[in-house]
Amino acid sequence: MAVTTLAYLNELMSKYTPSSTYFDAARTHRSGIETRLDSWLGVREMFETGSLKHGTGVWFYSDVDYIVSLKGVRPTSTTALNKVRDALKDKYRNTTVRTSRPAVVCEFAGGDETVEVVPAYEDTVGGGYWIPDPKTGDWMKSYPKHHNAYVNDANRKHSGAAKKLARLAKTWKYKRSVPVSSCYLEMRAAKYAAGEDAWSLPIDIYHYLKRLRDIDLAAMNDPTGLGSRFNAYSSTSSKADAISKLDTAVSRAIKAKNYFLAENHDEAIAQYKLLFNQ
């Protein structure tokens, strides 16, 4: 029996969905990281965030992400990153520990157990956390717990459409090496899904990508109305590369959509294989 377009997309999502235990090894490093940072810098709290926590992670590509809220007076973001990096380098001397804004990346087990640690300072007056801004090099306000709740609320519509769309968007990003923020793609997917009255994945993949192209990957206002804007890219050169790859993605997505509507599943799937580099 021939595979339908929807069956193929479901298989693709299943292929890139991490198992519930896949990143358990990486999570075992949490206690050591928190203890070292607390002894060196002082920790208010440390909690998991990011795509794995949100249920939008991509197998093989996504890492375990933590936000560590530090005590004391907030320095420059560069100083904070360097202090966290140096503390963890001193503890894990046989592990690659490097800075990659907004995080310090620890590549345990040769990168098989990668953990990203984002230094943060809690805003005890206005709420939220100050985290390093990848684009400006300064600080930006973030509300990770509120953002997770927003994605979960949007995901209740259309039987989990927001997270499915976010995972497919991130799969495209990773498989096609698109220099665009995973967080941006996820928040755009949640906002898109929340605004749709009907849902058909092959149709909505196209409209979502087309919308990203129509707005030229413009920065996104925080949909919770609390934090800083979400930037899609970190530099002019990365934007040009992302837009070029987005143009190609839109072209393939509309062909896949039209083949799907014509019930030509083989050709629709062929376009998705190109889109997601399968």
pLDDT, tens only, 224-245:
777 778 889 888 889 999 999 9
User: 103-108 and 43-49: which strand pairing?
Assistant: unpaired
Range of the domain at 207: 5-17+159-275
Give the predicted TM-score (pTM) of the model.
0.86
User: Quick check: 214 pLDDT over 70?
Assistant: yes
pLDDT-derived band at 263, boundaries 50, 70, 90: very high
Q: What percent of the chain has pLDDT over 70?
A: 100
Asked if residue 263 and residue 164 are part of one domain, the reply reads: yes
SS3 219: coil
The tens digit of pLDDT for each residue in 54-84 reads 788 898 888 889 999 999 999 999 999 999 9
Asked if residue 124 and residue 38 are part of one domain, the reply reads: yes
What pLDDT does residue 54 have?
75
What integer is the mean pLDDT of 202-229?
91
For residues 47 and 126, the model is more confident at 47
Asked if residue 252 and residue 182 are part of one domain, the reply reads: yes
Residue entry with tokens 């050169």:
237
Q: Looking at 146, 179, 207, which one is the last position of a domain? A: 146
Asked if residue 69 and residue 115 are part of one domain, the reply reads: yes
The CA distances from residue 19 to 60, 110, 163, 231, 250, in Å, are 11, 21, 15, 29, 30
CB distance 132 to 101 below 8 Å:
yes
Which residues lie across from 98 on neighbouring strands?
105
d(CA 158, CA 195): 11
CATH number for the domain spanning 141: value is 3.30.460.90
Least confident of 183-187, 213-217, 264-268, 270-274: 183-187
Q: What is the rounded average pLDDT for all residues in the chain?
A: 92
Nearest 5°: the CA angle 157, 232, 207 is 45
Nearest to 103 by CA among 142, 71, 73, 72: 142
Q: Is residue 154 part of a domain?
A: no
What pLDDT does residue 274 have?
98
Asked if residue 34 and residue 123 are part of one domain, the reply reads: yes
Asked if residue 107 and residue 40 are part of one domain, the reply reads: yes
Asked if residue 129 and residue 34 are part of one domain, the reply reads: yes
Asked if residue 166 and residue 116 are part of one domain, the reply reads: no
For residues 59 and 261, the model is more confident at 261
